Each structure stands twice: as C-alpha cells, then as structure tokens.
Chain A
Amino acid sequence: MLRRALLLITLLALLVVCIKPRMLQIVFTDREAAAREMNGSPDRLWPLYPRFLEGVRAHTQPGDTIAIIAPGMAWDSGYSYAYYRASYFLTGREVLPLVTPENEKLPQNFRAARYLAVFEMTVRMPAEIVWQGEGGTLLRPVWGTPPPAGRPSPSGGNAIAPDPEAQR
C-alpha cells in the first residue's frame, strides 16, 4: 500500500516537473511583444549593426577580404560579437578579425584586408570611402600614402590609428 502510494506520488511528481506550463501559456501571450524582443536580442548592444553589415554586403563582392573595426576593439567588450556577427552577414567574403580572443592585435589582417568595415569609429588613414551609412563606413585603404591631418572623430574617442601596430 505504502509502495503504491509512493509510486503514485513519484509518477505525479514526474508529470509536474516535466510539463512546462510556458509551452501552453505562449498560445495566449502577446507574441508580438515577445517577437520584438527576440528580434532585437542578438543586437541589443548595437542595434544598427546588422543594417550596417547588410550595407557592407551590398557594396562588396564574394571573395573580398574585410576587416572589422568596432568600438572597444577588445574581444570581450564587444569585438567578439562584432566579428561573429559580421561573419554571419558577410558570408562569401573573408572576414578578418583585428584582435584575438586574448586581445592581441593582428596587424597582418589589417594590411591583408581589401576593405575596412568601420562601425561607430573613425579611422585616420588614407582610404577611399566606398559607402557610408547605418552608423558606419566602408573604407578601401590606400597603402603608401601619408595619413590626412587629424580628421574629426564623430564618436569622441572612438578613433583608430592607421596601423594597429602603433597602438601596441
């Protein structure tokens, strides 16, 4: 009798812990609000970034190499997000990181890139502006030309020198 009671209680407990009321509740919740939140969740940090990357995609060709410059330029302070997200939006191109997960600079990638996708930053270096919009600029570096004198930075301190090697 006691065992039967225990069996029944355990079976009921298993049912209770397994059934997720949220799976049933969602049918009655405001899904539009939830959808808005989900849509924005990957890009909470920089809401404009996906649209910027779409613009970069539209102005580059498959096979192009693109280096990403984004605020902070530190792996865990947003650069990993910027780099991974760019890899997803810019498939077909070769997206190059400028810092490693250990925050070491990668100057060889800076030089190897045909384009620089610069988001919410200003780069002071000789470069052709290919496209501008959605909070960023797509640059084609012109190597071998001296950098122009002090271009103003729209985002305060978010400026990067021509060669990341100089920032070491």
Chain B
Amino acid sequence: MTAALIAILSMTVLGLPITLAVDRRARGPLLVGASFLYGSGAIFLILLALSVVKLRWTLPEVTLAALAVFCAASILARRPATGKPQPAARAHVFDVVTLFALTGYALFATLASLWEWDFWAIWGLKARVFLEAGAIDWRFLGSRWNTFAHTDYPLLVPLNFDFVALLNGSWSDRWLGLLCVAWGVGAVLIVRGLAARETSPFFASLLGLALTSRAVSTFIGLAEGALIAFGGAAVLFVRAALRDDDDDAAWRHGALMLGFAANCKNEGLALLVAVTIAVAAVSWFRGGETSRLRRLGTAAKLWPAYALAAPWLLLRFTHVLPTDIAGGSPFSRLMARLPQVHEILAFLITRLHDPWFWIVILAGILIAPAAARRPERFVFLVTVIQLLVYVVAYLATPNDLHWHVNTSWSRLTAQAALPIAFVVFLMLANSLRGGQDAPHAQARPDE
C-alpha cells in the first residue's frame, strides 16, 4: 500500500508546477485534482520516452526524468498569471458527505487484489509484462497470440501501474486500486472547483456529492476510471474556455486533459474527435464580428491534444498493432448491419445501464429554460457525437453484436455521463437560483 500511496503523492507533487504552468490562477481543489492528473500523465510520458530511447526503466532513472520535468515546469510556472482571477471553492458541509462517499469507494477499490477479468487479461497483464522487460515489450505486443490483450490500446494506465511497481520493487496487484481512487478523486476535485466558479457553495458542494458516483468507475483496474477523469475534465475545461471569453488557460487545460484521455483508451481518441467537431460546430454558429472560417480555427487551440495523442498513434502504426474493430472489412459489416439499425438501437436502449439517470438528464434538458440550455450546446453535442461513434463501432464490430453490447455498453455510457450530468445540474441549479449564468457566483450569498 505504501508504494501506491507514495506513487500518488509523487504524481501530485510532479503535477503541481505543471498545473501552475498551465494556469497560474489555479487554486484549491482544482489545483490538487489537476496536479494529480497531470502527474499521472507526465509519468506515462516519461516511461514512454525512456522506452522509446531504449533506456531500461529503473527507479533512479524515472526519478531523474521526473525531476527534470518538475524543474522545467517550475520555471514555466513562474510566469505571472494572466486573465481574470478565479475564486477558490469555499467548503460546505456537503463536502464532508462527498469525502465519506469517496472513502466508501476507496474501501471498495482496495477490497482485494484486482479481480476484473480485463485487468489481468489487458491492463494489468501489459503492465506486468513491461515491468519484467523494463520497457514496453514490443515483441509481446506484436505476437499474434497476444491480440486478446488489445495490444493497440494506449498505455497510460499500464505505465502508471508500472510506476507503482517500480516504487514497490516488484509487481503486486494488491493495492493498484488506489490509483483508480486517485483518478476519481482528481475528477471530483476538478468538478468541484469548476462548479464553484459558476454557482453558490451550496449547489457546488451538492454537485460535487452528486457527481462523485459519475466521476469514479466501478471497473477497478481498467482504464475506465482514468478515461472518465481525463475525458470529463477535458470536456469541462473546453466548455469553460468557450463560455469564458476564450480563456487561454482553460483551453490549455482542456487540450492537455484531452490528449491524456486519448492515451487512456481508444474511446479517448474518439472523444478527441468528438470534441474537435463540437468545438468547430459551436464556433461556426457562434455570433461575433470575426469571419466564420476564422471562428472555425478555434478548434486549432486543441493542438496540444493531438500532439499528446500522436506518439502512441505513431508507435502503434510503426509496430503494426491491429485494432480488432478495424479488422477485416469494417465498412462492409457496417453496411450489412445498417438495415437493422432500429433493432440495434432498441437493443441498446433495453441494455442501457442506469436508464433512470439518462431519463432524468433528458428531462433536465427539456425543463431547463432555453437561455440556460443554449450555452451548453457544446457538451450536448460532444455527448451525442460520442454516443453516435459508439453505435457506429457496434455496427462495424467483427464480434457478435449482442455479446459486444452486453460486455461494453454500460462502460461506454458511464464514460459520457460526467460532463452532461455537470451541465444539467448547473442549468437546473442556476435556473432555480434565478440566474441562468452565474459566473464567479461564490461571491454571492447563499440562498
């Protein structure tokens, strides 16, 4: 357990100057949550880079590389803050209940050695193989007998497991669940910090409590938790950037988080595409004096996300790691299933995990005043595109469609839940408070 805790603490300390370099104004829960996520992403990049330059992973080497990153980020973080000052979140009694819920999650995630099939057949397996090799084992990934381990999946999560193992001195899956807790806590802290900018401490804390269950994944040891954290944070930061007069720091946060999400799972890559399309679409239809073409260029602000996603895509391409969904002829499978699309959609609805959640989300969107709904088009669009991409993936799957849906649909919908729940909650809460848009609402008294 000590190794996992030291790893989480080290990642948070490493991420602290990175967060401040991205946004000198970051404070409170947002600073802590973003620091852990950036630290987790930085450790992934360090291990990936060491592996690419063929340096065997050892604790001293990784520590030295992390120190170099820490120093570079600290120098960058010394730049003066730009943009409007952001208020830090004020604590509320509901935060205690959130803490209690997260404690419950931590107890669940650390009940036993990681038990999920996908952990020991995919995420944990790769981490363990790489640890023994002291680097990414391309021979293992290239072997036709190991395609079951989805060798094309990005490696942020396995390499984070490896960092814990390096600190531990050997492989142990007993306490790796703590990393899932840390990703979840990171997401909750960011959500809490962002909510505090837009509503009262009462509603911000209530939102934090409500969204705790959406920010964590019950699939312990899989990449879902990391993807929800990075992906959820990315969408919410880009939303903040679009709303808050193109806040540069929010763009940087959003793009970097999006890039790390793309390094968690292939769905993160899909999210990157969904966010780019949504940003372009929202910018296109946005009013203003600049030309539409110029506004379309707003999506270029996401370039750091593509820069972060590129190395793994390149490595995956050069090592010819196959993607199961693209195997054979996905287009012909898609065309063959297209006539049954209504049946497939009906099947997805019957298999929807947590249907009441989605019904309430839909009700919330319909009931909220149009003025509150309009600024949230970006998140609505991202969610719709994400769900569409999943449906297309099901149509093109080489696996038995029913099996594929049964084994993944609940996870996929959980990945999309955090940002949409955030905006629907805020729309409802702020409409109740009498103001559809309440930036910097912490300064206002509670009702």
- Chain A positions near chain B (C-beta within 8 angstroms): 3-4, 6-8, 10-11, 13-15, 17-20, 22-27, 31, 34-36, 38-39, 41-42, 62, 80, 83-85, 87-88, 91-92, 94-97, 109
Assess the B367–A18 pair: CB atoms within 8 A. Answer: no
The answer, among B124, B145, B146, B364, for a CB contact under 8 Å with A10, is: B364
Assess the A38–B111 pair: CB atoms within 8 A. Answer: yes
Contacts A11-B425, A17-B354 hold; do A88 and B121 have CB atoms under 8 A apart?
yes
| Nearest residue, chain B, Cβ from A43 | B115
User: Could you pull out 13 A-B pairs where Cβ atoms are within 8 angstroms?
Assistant: A6-B367, A10-B428, A13-B360, A14-B421, A14-B424, A17-B356, A17-B357, A18-B213, A18-B357, A19-B213, A23-B212, A23-B213, A87-B125
The answer, among A23, A87, A92, for a CB contact under 8 Å with B105, is: A23
* Residues on B with beta carbons closer than 8 Å to the beta carbon of A8: 432
Given contacts A18-B210, A88-B120, 19 further A-B contacts (CB under 8 A): A10-B363, A11-B428, A11-B432, A14-B428, A15-B210, A17-B360, A18-B211, A19-B101, A19-B210, A20-B101, A23-B105, A26-B104, A34-B111, A39-B115, A80-B148, A84-B121, A87-B149, A88-B121, A96-B145
Give complex CA distance A18, B364 in Å.
13
Assess the A26–B107 pair: CB atoms within 8 A. Answer: yes
The answer, among A10, A62, A85, A94, for a CB contact under 8 Å with B120, is: A85
Assess the B111–A3 pair: CB atoms within 8 A. Answer: no
Give complex CA distance A13, B359 in Å.
10
Give complex CA distance A25, B104 in Å.
7
The 4 closest A-B pairs by CB, nearest first: A38-B112, A18-B210, A88-B120, A23-B104
**For chain B, what secondary structure do more than half of its interface residues adopt (helix, strand, loop), or is it mixed?**
helix
Cβ distance B227 to chain A, nearest Cβ, rounded Å:
19
Assess the B421–A95 pair: CB atoms within 8 A. Answer: no
Assess the B368–A7 pair: CB atoms within 8 A. Answer: yes
Cβ distance B137 to chain A, nearest Cβ, rounded Å:
9
The answer, among B101, B145, B146, B429, for a CB contact under 8 Å with A24, is: B101
Contacts A11-B425, A24-B100, A26-B107 hold; do A19 and B148 have CB atoms under 8 A apart?
no
Assess the A23–B367 pair: CB atoms within 8 A. Answer: no
Give complex CA distance A21, B302 in Å.
38
Assess the B111–A88 pair: CB atoms within 8 A. Answer: no
Assess the A7–B432 pair: CB atoms within 8 A. Answer: yes
The answer, among B105, B125, B425, for a CB contact under 8 Å with A88, is: B125
Of residues 137 through 171 on chain B, the ones whose CB sits less than 8 Å from some CB of chain A are 143, 145-146, 148-149, 171
* Residues on B with beta carbons closer than 8 Å to the beta carbon of A35: 111-112
Give complex CA distance A14, B429 in Å.
11
- B103 at interface by CB-CB < 8 Å: yes
Give complex CA distance A35, B115 in Å.
10
- B128 at interface by CB-CB < 8 Å: yes
| Nearest residue, chain A, Cβ from B356 | A17
- B249 at interface by CB-CB < 8 Å: no
* Residues on A with beta carbons closer than 8 Å to the beta carbon of B121: 84, 87-88
* Residues on B with beta carbons closer than 8 Å to the beta carbon of A14: 210, 360-361, 364, 421, 424-425, 428
Cβ distance B176 to chain A, nearest Cβ, rounded Å:
13
The 8 A CB mask of B418-434 against A (1 = contact, 0 = none) is 00010011001101100
* Residues on B with beta carbons closer than 8 Å to the beta carbon of A36: 112
Give complex CA distance A8, B133 in Å.
56
Give complex CA distance A91, B158 in Å.
14
The answer, among B100, B125, B357, for a CB contact under 8 Å with A91, is: B125
Assess the B360–A10 pair: CB atoms within 8 A. Answer: yes
Give complex CA distance A97, B211 in Å.
43
* Residues on B with beta carbons closer than 8 Å to the beta carbon of A23: 101, 104-105, 108, 212-213
Of residues 79 through 111 on chain B, the ones whose CB sits less than 8 Å from some CB of chain A are 100-101, 103-105, 107-108, 111
| Nearest residue, chain B, Cβ from A6 | B367
The 8 A CB mask of B392-431 against A (1 = contact, 0 = none) is 0000000000000000000000000000010011001101
Give complex CA distance A122, B210 in Å.
56
Contacts A14-B421, A15-B206, A88-B120 hold; do A7 and B367 have CB atoms under 8 A apart?
yes
Assess the A91–B360 pair: CB atoms within 8 A. Answer: no
Contacts A39-B112, A87-B121 hold; do A7 and B431 have CB atoms under 8 A apart?
yes
Assess the B107–A31 pair: CB atoms within 8 A. Answer: yes
Assess the A18–B129 pair: CB atoms within 8 A. Answer: no
Assess the A18–B132 pair: CB atoms within 8 A. Answer: no
Give complex CA distance A95, B361 in Å.
47
- B113 at interface by CB-CB < 8 Å: yes
Give complex CA distance A35, B149 in Å.
26
Cβ distance B225 to chain A, nearest Cβ, rounded Å:
14
Contacts A11-B425, A11-B428, A18-B421 hold; do A95 and B111 have CB atoms under 8 A apart?
no
Assess the A4–B211 pair: CB atoms within 8 A. Answer: no
Cβ distance A152 to chain B, nearest Cβ, rounded Å:
32
The answer, among B111, B143, B148, for a CB contact under 8 Å with A31, is: B111
Give complex CA distance A125, B211 in Å.
60
* Residues on A with beta carbons closer than 8 Å to the beta carbon of B100: 24, 27
* Residues on A with beta carbons closer than 8 Å to the beta carbon of B104: 22-27
- B347 at interface by CB-CB < 8 Å: no
